[in-house]
A and B are shown apart, each in its own frame.
Chain A
């Protein structure tokens, strides 16, 4: 529905300030990263051009890289799996609670608090029994002592412990999005459906779900962004440890660029991340275009 025919000058006024700022601050630095990814450079002294050697090491020799990609993807999968549950809650909230938005407001609180706070809080929950960890304390109370673990430091569990914090934190975020979506569906449609004999979950099947698809897309996109940028919470809670067991792409990039001082190599990770984003954006759009065509 691009209806307005306007002179090029007007388009420029509307678009250029935004695009230029964006290109200058986001895109040019990324292009610079593409360039520095071909260098052997510690970020301080002289740089040496080494072509694609960094990428070769990254893709084929770095034992910590692919696991970090896998964890980032898992992060995304968990975040996305959460969204249907949020939708379910949104529907229940809309149906059973009169002032549902009040509750949503409360559920949203973890999102606005700083990760530094949440990290410290969850540490006291995950702490080993000897340090009074809440989760382990509950397990002991229930007589499940064999289930207790040092949740953040056993490589087998640490990452799941982090996923869970994110799920908890972003529950209110996605609930808010889905709730608004559900609320914005006009009542008349449900009325009409009721006359046709569709009520409750049957109505959801034929009305709510199809109408909520675009909202779902926004949630999915936001969940992906959150996963790819999973950095602060990981840094606060485990620092990527023990021994890289909780590294994500973002923390790996940070470690390489600034701690190992292999800036060129870190740029290669950044470059990979950008390409990765590109692929994921294309995939999300493709899937949703199909879904949208199917349901509408």
Chain B
């Protein structure tokens, strides 16, 4: 009886593997088809003749490497900024004795659900006056700022759950707050920091609207521009888009699979008071 139950559960998990991994397979097939094959719309079909040249075209005409480099740079700076800024604030909220802590938390909670598009126009005006338009800062700043609320939320939750004795004794020994933060708190907080990283990452890696609005120079554009390179006014080259999407998703998948163990551990690690 229990064996049947077990096999039933296994079957369930196997079906889910198929449904959740299918998009990757589908995308790969898509990227190797001709426009006609794609538009005939069949779901399971394999490409008749694999169109490898889709990759060559996507690679050359989509400025893949340049865009990839920009994406990596922007993402790295954003992640670093998010981690540093949010962990410091989260620490202050979780540990410092001051009366504005809860208000700061509330301030961040308020902004947590606001979509970026809502602020496009005011940001344009602010960035123009700061002379930031068409610089990498013009996307790094909104990416960072919009990632802060959820980061502060997750990190402060975690930091509250860390036992206080270590810090207290370190404090007694005369260690500065900065030192405690850097050499005790940050290392312990690595799991939730990973969580914050992945959440931020999936939000900004594919982001297009903000980037397209604030960036004009070819040299600063990020990967999503490449996808839309192939979407022109009256014609769409689907196979090329597919190839570009595969190449765009590749770095994400690689990073994800390398880090996945940590990510699974890190997701909200602190929220359970063990």
A: residues with CB less than 8 A from B are: 1-6, 8, 10-11, 13-15, 17-19, 21-30, 32-33, 36, 43, 92-93, 96-97, 101, 103-118, 120-121, 124-125, 127, 131-134, 137, 168, 171-172, 176-177, 179-181, 183-186, 211-212, 214-215, 217-218, 221-222, 224-225, 228-229, 231, 250, 253-254, 257, 263, 270, 273-274, 277-278, 280-281, 285
Which residues of B sit under 8 angstroms from A15, Cβ to Cβ? 88-89, 92, 104
A77 to chain B, nearest CB (A): 16
Which residues of A sit under 8 angstroms from B218, Cβ to Cβ? none
Q: Which of B177-218 contact A (CB under 8 A)?
A: 177-178, 181, 202, 205-206
The reply to whether the CB of B1 lies closer than 8 angstroms to some CB of chain A is no
A-B contact pairs, 13 of them (CB 8 A): A14-B181, A22-B148, A25-B119, A29-B122, A30-B119, A116-B245, A121-B22, A124-B41, A137-B43, A214-B273, A218-B271, A263-B121, A285-B109
B186 to chain A, nearest CB (A): 13
Q: Mark B19-33, 1 if CB is under 8 A from A, else 0.
A: 111111011001000
Is A177 touching B268 in the complex (CB atoms < 8 A)? yes
The reply to whether the CB of B48 lies closer than 8 angstroms to some CB of chain A is no
Is B252 touching A112 in the complex (CB atoms < 8 A)? yes
* Main SS class of interface, A: helix
Is A4 touching B272 in the complex (CB atoms < 8 A)? no
Is B118 touching A33 in the complex (CB atoms < 8 A)? yes
Interface-facing stretch out of B49-57, B60-68, B69-77, B93-101: B93-101
Is A134 touching B256 in the complex (CB atoms < 8 A)? no
Is B114 touching A26 in the complex (CB atoms < 8 A)? yes
From known contacts A2-B101, A4-B171, A181-B268, infer whether A19 and B89 are also in contact, taking CB-CB under 8 Å.
yes
Which of B20, B248, B273 is within 8 Å of A171, CB to CB?
B20
A135 to chain B, nearest CB (A): 9
Which of B43, B114, B121, B152 is within 8 Å of A134, CB to CB?
B43
From known contacts A33-B118, A105-B257, infer whether A2 and B97 are also in contact, taking CB-CB under 8 Å.
yes
Which of A1, A26, A106 is within 8 Å of B160, CB to CB?
A1
Q: Mark B258-274, 1 if CB is under 8 A from A, else 0.
A: 00110111111101111
Q: 8 closest Cβ contacts across the A-B interface?
A: A25-B145, A29-B122, A29-B119, A134-B43, A32-B122, A18-B85, A277-B113, A114-B206
Is A11 touching B126 in the complex (CB atoms < 8 A)? no
The number of chain B residues touching the other chain, given as a range, is: 35 or more
The reply to whether the CB of B146 lies closer than 8 angstroms to some CB of chain A is yes
Which residues of A sit under 8 angstroms from B257, Cβ to Cβ? 105
Which residues of B sit under 8 angstroms from A33, Cβ to Cβ? 118-119, 122
B233 to chain A, nearest CB (A): 17
Is A106 touching B17 in the complex (CB atoms < 8 A)? yes
Is B249 touching A117 in the complex (CB atoms < 8 A)? yes
B148 to chain A, nearest CB (A): 5
Is A26 touching B146 in the complex (CB atoms < 8 A)? yes
A81 to chain B, nearest CB (A): 18
Is A121 touching B41 in the complex (CB atoms < 8 A)? no
Which residues of A sit under 8 angstroms from B125, Cβ to Cβ? 32
Which residues of A sit under 8 angstroms from B260, Cβ to Cβ? 101, 105, 108
Q: How far is the CA of A185 from the CA of B149 in the complex (A)?
A: 27
Q: How far is the CA of A2 from the CA of B159 in the complex (A)?
A: 11
Is B9 touching A214 in the complex (CB atoms < 8 A)? no
Which residues of B sit under 8 angstroms from A254, Cβ to Cβ? 117
Is A112 touching B95 in the complex (CB atoms < 8 A)? no
Which of B9, B42, B119, B269 is within 8 Å of A132, CB to CB?
B42
The reply to whether the CB of B247 lies closer than 8 angstroms to some CB of chain A is no
Q: How far is the CA of A263 from the CA of B119 in the complex (A)?
A: 12
Q: How far is the CA of A133 from the CA of B266 in the complex (A)?
A: 39
The reply to whether the CB of B235 lies closer than 8 angstroms to some CB of chain A is no
Could you list 19 further interchain pairs (A-B, Cβ under 8 angstroms) beyond the known A113-B27, A253-B118? A4-B171, A18-B85, A22-B149, A26-B119, A26-B149, A28-B122, A29-B118, A32-B125, A101-B261, A105-B256, A106-B21, A108-B256, A109-B253, A112-B202, A134-B43, A180-B266, A180-B268, A280-B113, A281-B113
Which residues of A sit under 8 angstroms from B123, Cβ to Cβ? 25, 29
Is A278 touching B110 in the complex (CB atoms < 8 A)? yes
Which residues of A sit under 8 angstroms from B142, Cβ to Cβ? 25
Is A101 touching B264 in the complex (CB atoms < 8 A)? yes
Is A14 touching B88 in the complex (CB atoms < 8 A)? yes
B176 to chain A, nearest CB (A): 9
The reply to whether the CB of B240 lies closer than 8 angstroms to some CB of chain A is no
Q: How far is the CA of A2 from the CA of B86 in the complex (A)?
A: 17
Which of B88, B117, B178, B248 is within 8 Å of A231, CB to CB?
B117
Closest to A3 in B: B164
Which of A2, A6, A27, A93 is within 8 Å of B13, CB to CB?
A93
Is B267 touching A116 in the complex (CB atoms < 8 A)? no
Which of B111, B154, B264, B266 is within 8 Å of A22, CB to CB?
B111
Is B146 touching A25 in the complex (CB atoms < 8 A)? yes
Which of B20, B89, B97, B101 is within 8 Å of A106, CB to CB?
B20
